[in-house]
Amino acid sequence: MFCCGGYRMKLRYGINPQQSVAQATPLAPDSPPIRLLHGEPSFINVLDALNAWQLVHEAGQVLGKPAAASFKHVSPAGAAVSGPIDEVIAGLYGITDGVGGVTSAYLRARDADPKSSYGDFAAVSHPVDAELAELLAGVVCDGIVAPGYEPGTVERLSKKKKGRFLVMEANESFVPPRQEAREVFGMRLEQDRDQVRLSTDLLAPVVGGPLPAQATEDLLLGLAVLRYTQSNSVCYVRDGMTLGVGAGQQSRVDCTRLAGAKVDTWWLRRHPAVRSLTFRPGVRRQDQINWQIRFIEGDLTPDENKRLEQALSAPAGELTADQRAQWKQRLSGVAFASDGALPFRDNVDHAYRHGVAYVAEPGGSIRSGDVEDACREHQIVLTRTGLRLFHH
């Protein structure tokens, strides 16, 4: 039962530590959307929890699978639904047997951008079980929000970070008010809550088609991610997991390129030359991830080269520009979603470089015809949702 009469959450501080007085008060004190089970959150922690829970709750409902998100600074570094764990993820976390649905969803979400997910706020659409609690205990993560916790899991998580790990419970039955409001610099802003449901009805192709079932699921996941990502935002998705999320850029094509670079890094982490990097015993998982990414990026400073050699037990192999290009050409079947209309065809041209075969965007740009032409040239299936998903 989710009941907290007169509930109010005292916060550690506001957005910054110098904003020392802060609290969170639910509009309906007897039925808050989330409640604190352990820890002392900051203002940003609460924002992360509220955004992340909405994302995984909606994605889980739309796709009918456990969903998870890894949040940093009020936007997802990655999101996913349950699915297979590949050898790269399994090797990184020492997984030798299969894992349950909610754990697989979080592992897949965290793998989209594991450098950014360091110190994340996690969210899952289903109750936390012992398996996920044990995984969370061993990764650098600041907190989690979930609709429930199996016996013993809150106690297990409460010991993490010397007792500072945040455990929050989401209220699945909470119904948000029809109007939202916020106060900024002495002004109160009000608007209707966006209540349009995500569904396959939004994904009728206007170029190419039909959409395969997996592409439909990927585009729906992408739309759910964009709804809770700081705009401008775009999202690359494949097989039920994000490969690159771009957030908060003033230029949409810059957002497309930045997120595309994350896709390339995700894919190159699966290249044999990167997988063959052998680290000395005692090198932490996150340091291994960071060195893999720097090795992929290839612009190491002299000091970084020295430290990488010290971290490895055998010399690194070669990863040439030609090898990179050939490997990237092997990535296909990627879905791409945009929270706003694609204003120029350059977004499609850049997305195509990262294996994109399916696009969902609202449409309505004065150059929408150019966008359609680009999709035809690249044999990309284009859907026009008519739904803008800006989030600020």
- Is 258 in the same domain as 124? no
- Do the domain assignments include residue 223? yes
Q: Residue 47 is encoded by which pair of tokens?
A: 């924002």
pLDDT digits (tens, 9 = 90+) for 220-243: 999 999 999 999 999 999 999 999
- Is 221 in the same domain as 342? yes
Cβ 154 vs Cβ 41: under 8 Å:
no
- Do the domain assignments include residue 98? yes
Q: Is 72 a catalytic residue?
A: yes
pLDDT digits (tens, 9 = 90+) for 306-331: 999 999 999 998 899 999 999 999 99
- Domain-terminating residue out of 279, 309, 327: 327
- Is 165 in the same domain as 120? yes
Q: Is 232 a catalytic residue?
A: yes
- Do the domain assignments include residue 204? yes
Positive or negative, the CA dihedral 44, 50, 56, 59 is: negative
- Do the domain assignments include residue 92? yes
- Is 256 in the same domain as 273? no
- Domain-terminating residue out of 141, 174, 207: 174
- Is 232 in the same domain as 338? yes
Look at residue 117 in the predicted model and tell me its pLDDT: 95
Query: How far apart, in whole angstroms, are the C-alpha atoms of residue 26 and residue 30?
Result: 8
Residue 217 structural domain = 196-267+330-384
- Is 164 in the same domain as 247? no
Strand-pair partners of 260 = none
- Is 214 in the same domain as 343? yes
Among the options 38, 72, 262, 378, which is catalytic? 72
Cα–Cα distance list, 325 to 161, 193, 256, 297, 319 (Å) = 41, 44, 19, 13, 10
Among the options 45, 51, 171, 232, which is catalytic? 232
Residue for token digits 């809150």?
154
- Is 336 in the same domain as 323? no
3-state secondary structure the chain: CCCCCCCCEECCCCCCCCCCCCEECCCCCCCCCEEEEECCCCHHHHHHHHHHHHHHHHHHHHHCCCEEEEEECCEEEEEEECCCCCHHHHHHHCCCCCCCHHHHHHHHHHHCCCCCCCCEEEEECCCECHHHHHHHHCCCEEEEEECCECCCHHHHHHCHHHHCCEEEEECCCCCCCCEEEEEECCEEEEEECCCCCCCHHHCCEEECCCCCHHHHHHHHHHHHHHHCCCCCCEEEEECCEEEEEECCCCCHHHHHHHHHHHHHHHHHCCCHHHHCCCECCCCCHHHHHHHHHHHHHCCCCHHHHHHHHHHECCCCCCCCHHHHHHHHCCCCCEEEEECCCCCCCHHHHHHHCCCEEEEEECCCCCCHHHHHHHHHHCCCEEEECCCCCCCC
- Is 164 in the same domain as 306? no
User: Looking at the 3D structure of the chain, how many domains does it have?
Assistant: 3
- Is 62 in the same domain as 121? yes
Among the options 73, 115, 161, 328, which is catalytic? 73
Look at residue 70 in the predicted model and tell me its pLDDT: 98
- Do the domain assignments include residue 364? yes
- Is 251 in the same domain as 274? no
- Do the domain assignments include residue 60? yes
pTM: 0.95
- Do the domain assignments include residue 21? no
Mean pLDDT per segment of 10 residues, for the chain of length 392 residues? 59 94 89 94 96 98 98 96 96 91 98 95 98 96 97 96 95 94 94 95 94 97 98 97 96 97 98 96 94 94 94 93 96 98 96 98 95 97 97 94
- Do the domain assignments include residue 2? no
- Is 81 in the same domain as 144? yes
CATH of the domain at 83: 3.40.140.20
